[in-house]
């Protein structure tokens, strides 16, 4: 919050700046830079875009995570100076590879672009292209097949298809063995898939028996922290993570980790190379630095301390709603992706007098606006066991103090009719 005094002092500073304008333009910028929090800098207010309380989770449409203060500071510092982009890409990659115990690393524009760059790298390798591969336009004339389990097909297929690949779908292990051909460039694994009968170890072993690299999309699969090196450690040649989800880096950053040879080829197909498939996936210096700083931040955390904090938040909310008639509060922790406690609040709407949909709308329309987890009121999100009468609260993206606000607002809306 901007205090009145700070506001006045920043107005005074800019007044000084204006008086210097004809004499010393650079001094104006120096002065302007000093008033860090002038009211004019609040572009959400200026644009009339409401803040929300994120009681949902790391969802892209809710801008996912808030960067921890030390990451925000690193981003702001990086914004002050131009550098040679190549130097920053190489140095950040080497730094991350060392910290994350893999051969090579690249800061991508999110996990989706890591998937595209990883695919381009495998295509380049299979087709003996040393650098930038002409895709998708020439792909059909090249080796371009990617083997995947039927149960691992998902929305992010598009990120691979951007390279002009063709999927070969398999179900059984023998399908898989038979699917390798002279056109195979890689096999792909969706780490959080809920179906698919071939497990990671077998999938990987068979790919390597055929000398074919294997990519794993683990975008949302941190925590636990050690997953950042678990899958490369198992032997996956390429592993993708989202930078803006649990890692709490910039939302438009991600990680492609893996074998040095493939990571080098991914760089050859990335921005700033103008005719590369990754050219539109530019990561700016601020986000490259932010991604590195987020990994540094994360490696200072502990899984136990983070999970304890999430459980504490769950308890704060439960205390507020536990005596609402028919209320059954429980927590659920998905096995792989979003492996954090989710609070499930199931009640009988006929007794309480408010449906889950109504409660969700009231929270959304209130001030501050609260967004619940999208599994609220539905059984369609199969990763969370909710139903039409269940509110789902994702607590891990709440900012300090927001657990109490969510608790009391939930209590308000659920007691409104019977108050
Ligand atoms: C979120 C997600 C992605 C995309 O990640 P971005 O960092 O937003 O590009 C890809 N795959 C899976 C499984 C995801 O959950």
Segment 253-296, tens digit of pLDDT: 999 999 999 999 999 999 999 999 999 999 999 999 999 999 99
Do 89 and 223 belong to one domain?
Answer: yes
**Distance from residue 220's CA to the centre of ligand 1 (Å):** 6
Same domain, 161 and 248: yes
295 and 308: one domain? no
DSSP codes joined into one string, 211-277: T--EEEE-TT--SSTTHHHHHHHHT-SEEEEESSSTT-S-TT-EEEEE-HHHHHHHHHTBTT-TTST
Whether 109 is covered by a domain: the verdict is yes
Task: Find the CATH number of the domain harbouring 92.
Answer: 3.40.640.10
Pocket test for ligand 1, best of 119, 219, 250, 338 (most atoms within 8 A of CB): 219
Backbone angles phi, psi at 214, to 5 degrees: -130, 125
74 within a domain of the structure (yes/no): no
Split at pLDDT 50, 70, 90, the class of 347 is very high
pLDDT grade for 37, boundaries at 50, 70 and 90: low
Task: Point out which residues pair with 55 in neighbouring strands.
Answer: 372
Residue of 58, 110, 381 best suited for mutating to test ligand 1, as the one with most atoms within 8 Å of CB: 110
Domain boundary among 257, 273, 299: 299
Residues 292-334: tens digit of each pLDDT? 999 999 999 999 999 999 999 999 999 999 999 999 999 999 9
- Domain boundary (247, 264, 299) is at 299
Instruction: Tell whether ligand 1 has an atom less than 6 A from the beta carbon of residue 254.
Output: yes
Beta bridge partners of 188: 148, 215
Same domain, 97 and 57: no
pLDDT digits (tens, 9 = 90+) for 250-259: 999 999 999 9
Q: Are residues 130 and 95 in the same domain?
A: yes
Q: How confident is the model at residue 22 (pLDDT cuts 50, 70, 90)?
A: very low
C-alpha 117/C-alpha 135 separation (Å) is 11
Same structural domain, 126 and 271: yes
Q: Is the pLDDT of residue 2 over 90?
A: no
Residue of the CA atom closest to atom 2 of ligand 1 = 219
In a domain, residue 72? The reply is no
A 10 A CB-CB count for 303 gives 13
Domains contained in the chain, number: 2
57 with 28, same domain: the answer is yes
Q: Is 111 in the pocket of ligand 1 (CB under 6 A)?
A: yes
Residue at 76 is within a domain: no
Q: Which atom of ligand 1 is nearest to the CA of 242?
A: 7
Cα–Cα dist 1/222, whole Å: 32
Together in a domain, 346 and 225: no
**Domain termination site, one of 269, 299, 329:** 299
**So what's the pLDDT on residue 419?**
57
Same-domain check for residues 110 and 246: yes
* 73 found inside a domain: no
Within-domain flag for 75 = no
Read off the CATH number of the domain in which 368 is found. 3.90.1150.180
Which residue, chain included where needed, has tokens 């409104």?
416
Element of type H or E holding 329: strand 328-332
Is the pLDDT score of 34 beyond 90?
A: no
> Does 63 fall in a domain?
yes
Q: Determine whether the shortest distance from the Cβ of 246 to ligand 1 is under 6 A.
A: no
| Residue whose C-alpha is closest to residue 287's, from 72, 58, 33, 44 | 72
Q: Does the Cβ of 110 fall within 6 Å of ligand 1?
A: yes
Q: How far is the CA of 244 from the centre of ligand 1 (A)?
A: 9
Q: Report how far ligand 1's centroid is from the alpha carbon of 219 (Å).
A: 5
User: Average model confidence (pLDDT) for the chain?
Assistant: 92
Q: Residue 77: inside a domain, yes or no?
A: no
Q: Are residues 372 and 408 in the same domain?
A: yes
> Do 347 and 208 sit in the same domain of this protein?
no
Band (39; pLDDT cuts 50, 70, 90): confident
Q: Nearest CA to 81 among 249, 272, 295, 286? A: 286
Distance 242 CA to ligand 1 centre (A): 6
Host domain of residue 102: 82-299
Query: Same domain for 278 and 306?
Result: no
- Confirm or reject: Cβ of 219 under 6 Å from ligand 1: yes
- List the alpha helices (DSSP H) in 127-195: 157-161, 173-179
pLDDT tens profile 195-222:
999 999 999 999 999 999 999 999 999 9
């Amino acid at each position: 919050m901007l205090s009145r005094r700070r506001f006045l002092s920043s107005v005074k500073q800019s007044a000084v700046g204006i008086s210097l304008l004809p004499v010393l333009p650079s001094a104006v910028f120096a002065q302007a830079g000093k008033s860090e929090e002038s009211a004019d800098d609040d572009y959400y207010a200026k644009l009339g875009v409401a803040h929300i309380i994120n009681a949902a989770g790391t969802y892209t449409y809710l801008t996912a995570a808030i960067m921890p203060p030390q990451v925000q500071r690193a981003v702001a510092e990086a914004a002050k100076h131009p550098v040679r982009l190549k130097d920053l890409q190489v140095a950040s990659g080497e730094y991350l590879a060392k910290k994350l115990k893999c051969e090579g690393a690249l800061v991508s524009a999110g996990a989706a672009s890591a998937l595209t760059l990883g695919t381009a790298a495998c295509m380049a390798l299979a087709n003996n292209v040393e650098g930038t591969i002409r895709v998708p336009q020439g792909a059909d004339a090249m080796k371009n097949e990617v083997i995947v389990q039927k149960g691992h097909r998902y929305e992010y297929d598009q990120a691979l298809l951007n390279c002009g690949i063709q999927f070969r779908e398999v179900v059984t292990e023998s399908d898989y063995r038979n699917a390798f051909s002279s056109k195979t460039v890689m096999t792909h694994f969706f780490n959080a898939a809920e179906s698919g009968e071939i497990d990671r170890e077998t999938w990987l072993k068979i790919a390597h028996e055929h000398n074919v690299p294997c990519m794993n999309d683990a975008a949302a699969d941190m925590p636990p922290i050690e997953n950042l090196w678990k899958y490369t450690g198992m032997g996956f040649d390429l592993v993708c993570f989202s930078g803006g989800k649990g890692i709490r880096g910039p939302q438009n950053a991600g990680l492609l980790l893996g074998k040095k040879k493939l990571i080098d080829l991914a760089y050859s197909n990335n921005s700033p190379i103008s005719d590369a498939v990754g050219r539109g996936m530019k990561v700016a210096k601020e986000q490259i630095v932010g991604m590195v700083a987020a990994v540094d931040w994360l490696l200072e955390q502990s899984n136990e301390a983070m999970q304890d904090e999430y459980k504490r938040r769950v308890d704060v909310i439960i205390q507020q709603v536990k005596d609402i008639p028919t209320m059954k509060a429980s927590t659920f922790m998905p096995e792989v992706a979003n492996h954090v406690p989710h609070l499930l609040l199931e009640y009988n709407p006929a007794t309480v007098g408010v449906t889950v949909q109504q409660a969700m709308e009231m929270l959304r329309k209130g001030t501050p606006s609260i967004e619940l987890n999208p599994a609220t009121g539905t059984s369609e999100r199969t990763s969370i066991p909710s139903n039409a009468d269940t509110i789902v609260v994702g607590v891990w993206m709440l900012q300090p103090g927001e657990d109490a606000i969510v608790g009391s607002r939930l209590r308000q809306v659920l007691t409104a009719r019977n108050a």
